[in-house]
Amino acid sequence: MWFSDTFIKKAGGSEILNQMFTFKDKKDRELCLNPEITGIIQELTNENYFQNKYPNKIFYISRCYRYETPQKGRYREFTQLGVEIVTKDSDKLNEYKNEVQKILIDLLNKTNTKFLLNNTVKRGLSYYIENGFEVECENLGAQKQIAGGGVYKEGAGFAIGLERWLLALEKWN
């Protein structure tokens, strides 16, 4: 769970806002089940959670929730695996984007995932400050995107949907 405002501020007009599971707690605060994790990492960076230890390289695995129409590869509860490099040095953002993208490509290659990388994607979350990247596995059909990422004010990172990635691997093994 996290505060809903984090995602409202960072999602812009994206579909995530309509897919959030929101509720009020006993103190009347607006909370939600986490729809994604990068927004939380950004907020922690802005609140100096990492105590000025930058760059800070973060790896996480988290359950996420979105009120979607369930179908193969698209679930209301899913696992997000992510890598983020947060910084206060905006001159290094593209370097960090290249680093996290290399980590993702190496991970996919080591697991024999057959994929296409698109480096010029307009990501659906307003916190990205430039075009991002997405990884697609053509064998998955309509739900073929398994990972996405890019550069934001506080750093660069990617997230991969674990269940969808496993579906892609099943098709090739």
CATH code: domain of residue 149: 3.30.930.10
Encoding tokens for residue 46? 């802005």
160 in any annotated domain: yes
Domains: count for the chain: 1
45 in any annotated domain: no
Question: What range does the domain containing 157 cover?
Answer: 52-172
pLDDT (tens digit, 9 = 90+) per residue, 97-106? Answer: 999 999 999 9
- Amino acid letter for position 140: L
Is the pLDDT confidence value at 145 over 60? yes
List the one residue out of 41, 42, 43, 39 whose CA is nearest residue 17.
39
Percent of the chain past pLDDT 70, that is, above it, reads 95
Q: Is the pTM of this model over 0.85?
A: yes
Q: Where are the alpha helices (DSSP H) in the chain?
A: 4-11, 16-19, 38-46, 93-110, 162-172
- Amino acid letter for position 171: K
Please check whether residue 42 is in contact with residue 10, taking contact to mean a CB–CB distance below 8 angstroms.
Answer: yes
